[in-house]
């Protein structure tokens, strides 16, 4: 048994004060959280001192196969499998060192995310792997190998992902900024194709999420019954604004929004897309006010401003641009994110019965969001990894 003592605790849900919290861990699980006192005589005690203990962070949208360099597409299309997999290992290790103990990898090549998930099981961050995203021929990220067309074609693609061990079905419902010849403002799949994807995934017990920037694409995804939508930016050729009619569609569907934010200050290149980020944040603010569930994620890996440990900057952006109160932003990368990823019974909280994925930071993130980057210790499944 292991005991971890800290000065403060955020349990992933509320800010109820716990004096001198002591977290007891056995067999990779939290068995008790108590205020003060001593651990059992047989337990090893780790005294962390003046730190805040909180659940390991969850990044619901990363790309481990992209190297967070100046040309991620060039690298992912030219590197061999062994080289690419080694880069993914390093990316996962970097995220883990920042206290990101769960990663949802939403687009790899050749199901290497599934390979890495199995390799790191019990040893590294928990990976939820999508495999190659399903996309139309020459659509967004077609070079990852997930091209499919027509109702029967997309059903077959979902079945292949299931057979190859994918945990979630990721679909490119609109074009994207990384892929030449596609546009974020244009829809890719038809409503019939999107519905077929959802039906096949549900039959196989797999959750679904879709990349969608354009308002019409967002509406198609929600109406098709997807569990989540990535980005959800309402992007047009001249800005971004949450359209009232489509906001109502989102509300009726109950779909969860994965708001991909965050970049290392000074690293982002000035582009029309970058200039629209305040407008995207305004969209997320509106959606939160309308009662929609929003997860804070990063899209890590897609460029040099988004290394695989960028998630704390996404949380800071949510708070500093007034999209979320601080405690809600913290929930959006812990308990809320865990529930969205169907891991709410084991991740995202510091409570008895949950996985002992823990982050200790100097300072108090409930008062200062930047404390998330002041990492003192990280535990994955009760094992100290930093």
Give dist(CA 130, CA 84) in Å, integer: 16
Give the H or E element holding residue 177: none
- Beta strands 228-231 and 256-260 are parallel
The pair of three-digit structure tokens given for residue 278, joined into one six-digit string: 């305040």
8 Å CB contact between 8 and 52: yes
Question: For the whole model, what pTM was predicted?
Answer: 0.98
CATH class for the region spanning 57-340: alpha beta
Burial of 279 (0-12, 13-18, 19+ CB in 10 A): middle
- The tens-digit pLDDT sequence of the chain (386 residues) is 999 999 999 999 998 888 899 999 999 999 999 999 999 999 999 999 999 999 999 999 999 999 999 999 999 999 999 999 999 999 999 999 999 999 999 999 999 999 999 999 999 899 999 999 999 999 999 999 999 999 999 999 999 999 999 999 999 999 999 999 999 999 999 999 999 999 999 999 999 999 999 999 999 999 999 999 999 999 998 899 999 999 999 999 999 999 999 999 998 888 888 999 999 999 999 999 999 999 999 999 999 999 999 999 999 999 999 999 999 999 999 999 999 999 999 999 999 999 999 999 999 999 999 999 999 999 999 999 99
Identify the CATH number of the domain defined by range 2-55+348-384.
2.30.40.10
Place of tokens 């993130």: 365
182's CB contacts (< 8 A; 6+ apart) are 138, 139, 140, 175, 176, 188
Q: What is the dihedral of CA 158, 156, 165, 112, to 10 degrees?
A: -90
Q: Give the start-to-end residue ranges of the domains of the chain.
A: 2-55+348-384, 57-340
């Amino acid at each position: 048994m292991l005991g971890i003592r800290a000065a403060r605790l955020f349990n992933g849900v509320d800010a109820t004060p716990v004096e001198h919290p002591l977290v007891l861990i056995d067999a990779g699980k939290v068995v008790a959280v108590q205020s003060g006192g001593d651990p059992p005589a047989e337990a090893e005690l780790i005294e962390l001192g003046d730190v805040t203990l909180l659940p390991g962070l969850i990044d619901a949208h990363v790309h481990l196969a992209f190297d967070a360099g100046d040309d991620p597409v060039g690298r992912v299309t030219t590197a061999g499998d062994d080289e690419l997999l080694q880069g993914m290992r390093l990316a996962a290790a970097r995220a883990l060192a920042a206290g990101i103990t769960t990663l949802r990898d939403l687009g790899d090549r050749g199901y290497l995310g599934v390979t890495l998930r199995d390799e790191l099981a019990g040893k590294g961050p928990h990976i939820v792997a999508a495999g190659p995203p399903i996309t139309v021929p020459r659509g967004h990220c077609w070079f990852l190998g997930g091209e499919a067309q027509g109702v029967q074609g997309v059903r077959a693609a979902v079945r292949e992902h299931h057979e190859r061990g994918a945990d979630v079905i990721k679909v490119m419902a609109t074009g994207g900024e990384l892929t030449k010849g596609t546009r974020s403002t244009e829809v890719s799949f038809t409503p019939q194709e999107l519905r077929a994807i959802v039906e096949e995934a549900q039959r196989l017990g797999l959750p679904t999420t879709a990349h969608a920037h354009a308002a019409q694409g967002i509406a198609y995804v929600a109406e098709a019954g997807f569990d989540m939508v990535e980005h959800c930016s309402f992007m047009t050729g001249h800005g971004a604004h949450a359209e009232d009619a489509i906001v109502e569609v989102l509300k009726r569907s109950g779909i969860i929004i994965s708001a991909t934010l965050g970049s290392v200050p000074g690293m982002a290149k000035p582009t029309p897309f970058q200039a629209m980020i305040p407008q995207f944040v305004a969209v997320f603010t509106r959606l939160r006010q309308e009662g929609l569930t929003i997860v804070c994620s990063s899209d890590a890996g897609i460029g040099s401003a988004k290394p695989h440990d960028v998630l704390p900057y996404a949380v800071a952006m949510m708070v500093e641009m007034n999209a979320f109160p601080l405690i809600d932003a913290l929930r959006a990368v812990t308990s809320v994110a865990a529930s969205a990823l169907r891991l709410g019974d084991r991740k995202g909280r510091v409570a008895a019965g949950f996985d002992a994925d823990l982050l200790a930071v100097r300072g108090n993130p409930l008062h200062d969001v930047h404390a998330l980057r002041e990492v003192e210790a990280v535990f994955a499944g009760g094992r100290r990894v930093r």
